[in-house]
Structures are given as C-alpha cells and as structure tokens.
C-alpha cells in the first residue's frame, strides 16, 4: 500500500496522500506525512460523514473534490476505507483521479492489501450518531436522514 501512496505523491503538484478506515483512523500515509496524524484523522471522520450524508440524502458519491485557496483535497471512497490526496490548487486533477483509480484497482487485486483493509474494517455509519455529533450537527443529520427516507 505504501508503494501506491508513493505513486500518487510522485504526481506533479501533489503534496501527500493517506488512507483512512471508515472510523477516520489513518491506515497508511505518505512519508513524510503531509499533515499531522490528528488532522488526517479529523479529515477522515468529517469526509466519512459527508459520504454517509450524501448516501442518506439519496445522492451517493464515490469522490469528493474540495478546492481551497491554497490546496486541494480529493477523497475517494473504497467502501472499507477512504483515500485522500492533498495537492496544490493548480494540480491536474484528472491525472490525480486517474492515478487514484489505478491505485484502488491495484489494492483490490492485491490479497495483502485486501487483508490489511479487512483488518481495519468498520461501518462508516457509526460516524453519525448522537454522541459523535454536536447538537446542531445532530439536528442537521436528522433533516438529511428524513429527506432520504
């Protein structure tokens, strides 16, 4: 898995990449890590919640691409994990998405990678519960969940 993460980080304008399980815990990251582990965990949880919310609202997605003033974040859903790529704003995102697809396909074919992912398997829906969210977020979640029903 480290080799494929390195493949992503060799792309022009890519600053780093990491893989989180469905709880938001980092499984593997580029070396050196582009962000602190606690920051990567927070991103993993929040983007995981976004994928759950999109699904619940009837708008399932397998990628989220966020653009900020000074960086860009691609999140790709693997089902049992989330792949993140952090890049400069001017990155060729089509090349990043293509390479991410190649990386994911390699992991799906690799028994060792599948076993490693299975070891970290958890349900992403557990990210959305009353104890995990502040009161305002919990109210928003209930609106989203009702809309999708």
Q: What is the pLDDT of residues 31-57, one digit of tens each?
A: 888 899 999 999 999 999 999 999 988
CA angle 95, 34, 88 (to 5 degrees): 40
All structural domains of the chain, each given as residue ranges with its CATH number in brackets, are: 1-131 (3.30.450.30)
Rounded Cα distance between 4 and 118, Å, is: 18
Q: Using the 8-state DSSP alphabet, how is residue 38 labeled?
A: H
Contacts 24+ apart (CB under 8 A), 93-101: 93/65, 95/11, 96/8, 96/11, 96/14, 97/63, 99/7, 99/8, 99/11, 100/8, 100/74, 100/76
Answer whether residue 137 shows pLDDT above 90: no
- For the stretch 101-124, pLDDT in tens is 999 999 999 999 999 988 888 888
Full-model pTM: 0.91
């Amino acid at each position: 898995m480290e080799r494929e993460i390195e493949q992503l980080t060799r792309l022009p304008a890519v600053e780093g990449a990491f893989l989180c399980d469905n709880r938001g815990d980092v499984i593997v990251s580029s070396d050196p890590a582009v962000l602190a582990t606690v920051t990567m965990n927070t991103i993993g949880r929040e983007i995981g919640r976004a994928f759950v919310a999109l699904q619940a609202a009837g708008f399932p997605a397998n990628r989220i691409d966020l653009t900020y003033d000074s960086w860009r974040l691609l999140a790709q859903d693997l089902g049992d994990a989330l792949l993140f790529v952090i890049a400069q704003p001017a990155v060729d995102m089509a090349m990043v998405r293509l390479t991410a697809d190649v990386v994911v396909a390699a992991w799906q074919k690799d028994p060792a990678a599948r076993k490693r992912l299975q070891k970290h398997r958890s349900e992403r829906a557990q990210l959305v519960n009353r104890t995990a969210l502040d009161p305002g977020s919990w109210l928003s979640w209930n609106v989203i969940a009702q809309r999708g029903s």
